[in-house]
Amino acid sequence: MSLITNVMDHSLDDGYAEAAARRETQGEGGLPKTLRAKLGLAAGLVLAALVVTVGAAQARVAAPVVAKERQELIDRIDDETADADKLEGNVDRLRDEVGARQRAALKSSGGSADADLVGMLSGATEVHGPGVKLVVNDAKEAGGGGDGTNPRETSGFSDTGRVRDRDMQRVVNGLWASGAEAVSINGQRLTALSAIRAAGDAILVDNKPLVPPYTVLAVGDGERLSATFQDSADGLYLHALRENYGIRATISTEDDLRLPAAPSVIVRTAQPNTEKTEKGTS
């Protein structure tokens, strides 16, 4: 109790109390005593208040300008987005026209059966038939980076639980080798000119970004195609990804699959060999 009483009675340290009393006695503590000092303190307070007031006024004046500039930027973004969507629609329309003219040219260049076969094999025409449906998706815990010690890690794509472009390349090549006659990924028909690449973390098919899950449709003899693919090196590779990295993959046989035509199949360098035809007619 004596300690508590002492703390209550001497809340200020004795040394501090003595120094404060000495300054008060000498007239050095507290508010200014002279008129000049009081005027200086008042001028300082007025100056501080003026600075705060001017700053607040400038902020109030600038706020509408900032808000206006922000709204103008948002409007520009909306306009540019609308223009980009319009251009993309025009591109799709032109691709459809090109595809239709290519199909018409194929039919007019020879027999209907040969033209249909060429169109199906080249990806220029829509096809349907039995086959397999393979859905490949990232691991549930995908999203974190790695430390660079895993062979699946790269500087631009370090998450080992995510499907990569080379994984899809192996899947597609395995399906072709197993007997697939037509293949598409997320509605993108693959042709001899198709490319599966990566841009950052995104997988591109013919320069169009895809998002998981990746649905691969392959037309062919469903049961045989499924069994052959799963027993192939590429099917075992996909199984290893599922077991070791948690990548999800399911395969099923389908009675009727419909694959769209490729947006455009344009050959700029290759030319048909007409020597055999010329020899046959001479």
* Segment 133-143 mean pLDDT: 87
Tell which residue, 179, 172, 245, has the closest CA to residue 214: 172
Tell which residue, 184, 223, 174, 231, has the closest CA to residue 205: 184
Domain coordinates of the chain in residue numbers?
34-93, 128-259
Least confident stretch, 75-79, 99-103, 138-142, 163-167: 99-103
Tell which residue, 237, 175, 169, 180, has the closest CA to residue 205: 169
- Position 152 scores a pLDDT of 59
On whether the CB atoms of residues 238 and 132 are closer than 8 A, the answer is no
pLDDT digits (tens, 9 = 90+) for 46-88: 888 888 888 888 877 777 777 888 888 999 999 999 998 899 8
Residues 194 and 176: their CA atoms lie apart, in Å, by 13
Amino acid at 105: A
CATH (one of 2.60.40.290, 3.40.640.10, 3.40.50.1370, 3.30.70.1880) for 128-259: 3.30.70.1880
Contacts with 1 (C-beta within 8 Å, 6 or more apart), sequence order: none
Contacts with 164 (C-beta within 8 Å, 6 or more apart), sequence order: 152, 157, 198, 203
Is residue 131 predicted with pLDDT exceeding 70? yes
- Split at pLDDT 50, 70, 90, the class of 20 is low
- Position 133 scores a pLDDT of 96
Q: How far is CA 169 from the centre of its chain?
A: 19
Report residue 221 as tokens: 């003899």
pTM above 0.75, yes or no: no
Amino acid at 184: S
Residues 265 and 95: their CA atoms lie apart, in Å, by 9
Contacts with 137 (C-beta within 8 Å, 6 or more apart), sequence order: 163, 212, 213, 214, 247, 248, 249
Report strand pairing: 214-219 vs 127-137: antiparallel
Amino acid at 82: A
- Position 53 scores a pLDDT of 87
pLDDT digits (tens, 9 = 90+) for 158-207: 557 889 999 999 999 999 999 999 999 999 899 888 889 988 878 999 88
| Element holding 135 (H helix, E strand) | strand 127-137
Residues 182 and 260: their CA atoms lie apart, in Å, by 10
Half-sphere exposure of 113 (CA within 13 A, CB side): 0
The residue count for the chain = 282
* Segment 101-112 mean pLDDT: 64
Residues 169 and 200: their CA atoms lie apart, in Å, by 17
Least confident stretch, 9-13, 40-44, 78-82, 211-215: 9-13
- Position 52 scores a pLDDT of 87
- Position 37 scores a pLDDT of 74
